[in-house]
């Protein structure tokens, strides 16, 4: 069964395609805790889809389900029109889904460049035996990957820290390198877990610009989690709102902003 929902055109004239990913009735339990309760939503080709909600709402858990880090207790994940079997995170990555983490997961001992080269892991084809036997060919492949990574380094304006071990970088730059590593995979779907958390205003503006540019220039579909309503309204095409593991709203930023349940969740409760 294929679900190819009609696309739509955004206010700024970008064409959004059919359904890329569909979450169907996802429930996730940890012992007694229900982190996600029967949630369904879709992500369409080319859009920027936001998931928002107060702390502990289950946003990260949802991203972890998409990226294979968590296995849902119930429900189905559909990708490109077919039901996805249970997958390990590395298999999901190989399908063209890259991600960042809420609490930055970088290779702290490696340089920016090496982190991003590692991000190209799924794009590196030659096997170990081939690399050992055709050293020249392997070197050629390596330099092609290097070129691709350098482009992203330029794009993210991080030339100055190419050789710096990322553990020594300030928080804001680490977030940027982590985005770079995800981009290095040239993903079809990019998952960002609170890419702007803990940043100052200037850094937030930079990050917003990068996210919009990635979507615009590379046509990458993006699902991002954000805590802050304001940022989300500027960036995203459609928004899912979660609260206590349940979906309480889904629609364009304007629709969501005027949804009474959403207003209650944001005004009534202050989880942080």
Partner 1 sequence: MPDQLLFAIEVTLNGLMAGVMYALVALGFVLIFKASGIFNYAQGVMALFAALTLVGLQNGQVPFAHLINAIFGTDVHHFGWHLPAFVAIILTIGVMILLAIIVERYVLKHLVNQEPIILFMATIGLAYFMEGFGDMMWGSEIKKLDVGLPQGISESIDATTYNWFGYGFFIDRLDIVATVIAALLVISLTLFSQYSKQGRALRAVADDHQAALSVGISLRFIWVLVWSIAGFVALVAGIMWGAKSGVQFSLSLIALKALPVLMLGGFTSIPGAIVGGLIIGVGEKLFEFAIGPMIGGATENWFAYVLALLFLVFRPQGLFGEKIIERV
Ligand X SMILES: Nc1ncnc2c1ncn2[C@@H]1O[C@H](COP(=O)(O)OP(=O)(O)O)[C@@H](O)[C@H]1O
Report d(CA 143, CA 152) in Å as an integer: 14
By C-beta, is 117 or 182 nearer to Mg ion? 182
**Residues in 90-119 at the binding interface with Mg ion, rule: CB under 5 A:** 102
* Sign, CA torsion 125/192/211/166: negative
Q: Tell me how far the alpha carbon of residue 101 is from its chain's centroid.
A: 9
Report d(CA 192, CA 52) in Å as an integer: 12
- The residues of the shown chain that bind partner 1, judged by CB under 8 A, are 67, 69, 88-90, 93-94, 98-99, 101, 105-110, 114, 117-119, 121-122, 124, 126, 128, 131, 138, 142, 181-182, 185
β-pairing, 8-9 vs 15-16, is: antiparallel
C-alpha closest to that of 256 among 268, 265, 246, 244: 265
By C-beta, is 77 or 149 nearer to ligand X? 77
Instruction: Note the residue count of the chain.
Output: 272
By C-beta, is 100 or 115 nearer to ligand X? 100
Q: Does 61 bind ligand X (CB under 6 A)?
A: yes
Q: Which does 35 bind (CB under 5 to 8 A by kind): ligand X, Mg ion, partner 1, none?
A: ligand X
Q: How many beta carbons lie within 10 A of that of residue 58, not counting itself?
A: 25
By C-beta, is 10 or 94 nearer to partner 1? 94
C-alpha closest to that of 196 among 164, 236, 256: 236
- Write down the least CB distance from residue 144 to partner 1, Å: 13
Place of tokens 């559909």: 78
By C-beta, is 53 or 119 nearer to ligand X? 53
- Write down the least CB distance from residue 41 to ligand X, Å: 15
Place of tokens 């070129």: 147
All residues at 6 or more sequence positions from 114 whose CB lies less than 8 Å from its CB, including other chains: 107
Q: How many beta carbons lie within 10 A of that of residue 144, not counting itself?
A: 13
- Write down the least CB distance from residue 167 to ligand X, Å: 24
**Residues in 17-56 at the binding interface with ligand X, rule: CB under 6 A:** 30, 33, 35, 53, 55-56
Q: Which does 33 bind (CB under 5 to 8 A by kind): ligand X, partner 1, Mg ion, none?
A: ligand X
Q: Does 159 bind ligand X (CB under 6 A)?
A: no
By C-beta, is 107 or 155 nearer to partner 1? 107
By C-beta, is 100 or 215 nearer to Mg ion? 100
Edge-first strand order for the sheet with 82-83 is 33-44, 19-30, 74-79, 82-83
Q: Which does 55 bind (CB under 5 to 8 A by kind): partner 1, ligand X, Mg ion, none?
A: ligand X
Report d(CA 114, CA 181) in Å as an integer: 9
- Write down the least CB distance from residue 93 to partner 1, Å: 3
Please give the residue ranges that form the binding site for Mg ion (CB under 5 A).
60, 102
Please give the residue ranges that form the binding site for ligand X (CB under 6 A).
30, 33, 35, 53, 55-61
């Amino acid at each position: 069964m294929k679900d190819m929902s009609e696309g739509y055109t955004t206010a700024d004239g970008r064409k959004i395609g059919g359904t890329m990913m569909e979450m169907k009735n996802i429930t996730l339990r940890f012992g007694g805790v229900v982190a996600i309760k029967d949630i369904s939503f879709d992500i369409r080709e080319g859009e920027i889809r936001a998931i928002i909600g107060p702390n502990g709402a289950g946003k990260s858990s949802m991203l972890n389900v998409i990226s294979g880090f968590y296995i849902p207790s119930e429900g189905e994940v559909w990708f490109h029109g077919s039901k996805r079997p249970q997958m390990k995170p590395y298999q999901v990555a190989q399908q063209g889904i890259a991600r960042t983490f809420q609490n930055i997961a970088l290779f702290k001992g490696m340089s920016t460049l090496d982190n991003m080269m590692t991000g190209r892991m799924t794009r590196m084809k030659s096997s170990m035996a081939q690399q050992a036997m055709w050293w020249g060919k392997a070197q050629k492949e390596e330099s092609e990957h290097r070129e691709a990574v350098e482009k992203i380094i330029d794009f993210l304006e991080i030339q100055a820290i190419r050789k710096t071990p990322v553990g020594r970088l300030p928080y804001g730059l680490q977030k940027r390198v982590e985005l770079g590593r995800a981009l290095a995979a040239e993903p079809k779907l990019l998952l960002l877990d609170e890419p702007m958390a803990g940043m100052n205003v200037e850094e937030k503006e930079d990050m917003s610009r990068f996210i919009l540019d990635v979507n615009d220039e590379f046509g990458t579909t993006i699902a991002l989690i954000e805590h802050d309503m304001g940022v989300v309204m500027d960036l995203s095409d459609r928004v899912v709102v979660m609260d206590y593991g349940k979906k309480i709203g889904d629609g364009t930023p304007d629709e969501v902003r005027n949804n009474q349940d959403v207003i209650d969740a944001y005004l009534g409760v202050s989880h942080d």
